Chain A
Amino acid sequence: MASERNELTMPSTGRAARAQHLLKGKTWSDRDLKAKIFIFSAALLIMAATVALTVFLIVKGLHSFLIDGISVIEMFVAGEWNPNANPPSFGALPLLFGSFAVTLLSVAIATPIALGTAIFMTEIAKKRGQKLMRPVMELLVGIPSVVYGFIGLTVIVPFIRDHLGGIGFGLLAAGIVLGIMILPTVTTVAADAFQSVPNHLREASLALGATRWQTIYRVVVPAALPSVLTAVILGMARAFGEALAVQMVIGNTAQIPHSLTEPAATLTTMITSSLGETTYGSLQNDALWSLGLILLAMSYLFILVIRFLSYRRRSS
């Protein structure tokens, strides 16, 4: 009897499938199709938006060079930006100078303090750093930039005017405002970097009799350096692209200033002040879109640098 049953039910490759319901069959359709379509279209839309943004701004930005005949070289070397003069001049050098100057100034102000704070948060007061400082920093990252600009306008500009002379508006005011603005960003990212240094490195150093300071600057900082650099670049990118806060305190004069307390202008502030004021499609307006293109290119450059750093971090 046993052998009979065995024979009967012995499966073999040749026999037709009994469990048709387990096969996809001809009428099989993906049960998730609707959801998948939505999700895949969202992904497509995100890519399309990014590409469209880049392409639109490049095409519009090239307009002034290709159609209006403004010379690319003039834009990068000529020292005067005066689109309303006759003949108009489109030297973006003062604006480029302004952008780089305020960026470097802000980073120079923010980096030491931010790194010191980050080290305080991760190496010295670990508990309070995590429980108190971090949420506060994250909150401050979210404070709107116009608020920083307004503070610059009502506190920093008058302070500079009263104590350092000049009218108060200028690179220094902009640098300070941006420095304060990027301080929480740089601090949190740098704190993350220090935090991700494995503890056994610290312990090894301390066990060899090194003091905490020696451990920090010989072990922790070198180990976290690429990530710390990323933090600084992130701060730079944010400072370079900030528009309204800078526009409120820099004085908006397209010139290369002789001192930090003289008014100046940047790429973003020129766009902010003039893009809405000029007629769309006019020469003056087109030139501003070219400034936008430069800004876009710089942003991509920052992104590439950050990518490169994180790539090197991962591969090492």
Chain B
Amino acid sequence: MYVLTLEKEKRIVQPNPEAMETELKVNNLNVFYGSNHAVKNVSMEIKKHAITALIGPSGCGKSTFLRSINRMNDLIPGAVCKGEILYEGINLLDASVDVVSLRKEIGMLFQKPNPFPKSIFDNVTHGLKCAGIRKKDVLENAVEESLKLAGLWDETKDRLKHSALSLSGGQQQRLCLARALAMKPKVLLLDEPTSALDPVSTAKIEELLMSLKKRITIVIVTHNMQQAARIADQTAFFYEGTLVEFGNTRDLFENPTHTRTKSYISGQFG
């Protein structure tokens, strides 16, 4: 239903996703937590400067898939990733990849807003400082630029030294977005970034993502199918660790080829 109502506004701007460059090419990705096979043989191409949505019922491996792209699964003892994720011609899962440099280039936003208990300014500059940038004017410019990109500048420009925890939940999430944008990432991974937010904050974030995709490749996990339909160019449906269906968002929502997909998007389970 909602797909149809959204049609009108979307049709004007949407290029054909299939004609776009590929940013991340995933080949036969398998992820294990000990004996738990969480992601099974997933292959897909994530397009450059497009929004790719990952949907599927809880526990189907969306977060696990997302976290293997920027190697966050390395932090979990016993987690093993096998297969290939090609980015700029290198396999991100390879042992020779420097995960610290990788994560500077592939940023991430989490489900719950998780600002550091420091000032707004220090939150935005955290990544830059860790990357060795110390010059005050460089940092100040970066803070202004990223907060503007995240649509938070007007609300915070007079209180940059205040605690980030004094912000509202929606503002906190945008601060986390600004924090990630300050690193000038090429890819942004978002794990249910709006599930803890109210509709107004959600709309703001969605709007931001739409404007950001001009320069950044975005992969977003969401439980909200309207959201996927609203913003994503391509959508992937996961079920019990496997990639069931992947294609243009409109096709997937209008003509799902698998019955599982159909029943999921029509709200019959999940």
Contacts and interface: CB of A to CB of B under 8 A. Distances in A.
Contact flag (A, B; Cβ within 8 A): yes
Interface of A: 2, 5-6, 9-11, 13, 15-19, 21-25, 28, 31
Given A22-B97, A23-B96, A24-B98, A6 B19 contact: yes
Interface string B178-203: 00000000000000000000000000
Nearest to A8: B21
Nearest to B100: A31
Contacts of B84: 13
Contacts of B101: 21-22
B16 to A, nearest CB: 7
Interface in B71-98: 84, 86-92, 96-98
B22 A15 contact: no
A21 B84 CA distance: 19
Given A10-B22, A11-B88, A17-B89, 9 more contacts: A17-B88, A18-B88, A18-B90, A21-B101, A22-B97, A22-B98, A23-B98, A24-B97, A31-B100
A274 to B, nearest CB: 52
A11 to B, nearest CB: 5
B105 A11 contact: no
Contacts of B89: 11, 15-19
B44 to A, nearest CB: 13
Given A11-B25, A13-B84, A28-B98, A23 B19 contact: no
Interface of B: 16, 19, 21-22, 25, 48, 84, 86-92, 96-98, 100-102, 105
Give the top 4 A-B pairs by smallest Cβ distance, nearest first. A19-B88, A2-B19, A17-B90, A17-B89
A31 B130 CA distance: 11
A9 B98 CA distance: 24
For B19, B25, B87, B98, the residue with the greatest tally of chain A CB atoms inside 10 Å of its CB is B98
B57 to A, nearest CB: 31
9 contacts: A2-B16, A2-B19, A5-B21, A9-B48, A11-B22, A11-B88, A19-B105, A24-B96, A31-B100
A22 B16 CA distance: 30
A238 B240 CA distance: 54
Contacts of A18: 88-90
B90 A9 contact: no
A254 to B, nearest CB: 55
Contacts of B87: 19, 22
Contacts of B88: 11, 17-19, 22
Contacts of A5: 19, 21
Contacts of B19: 2, 5-6
A9 B96 contact: no
A117 B22 CA distance: 69
B22 A23 contact: no
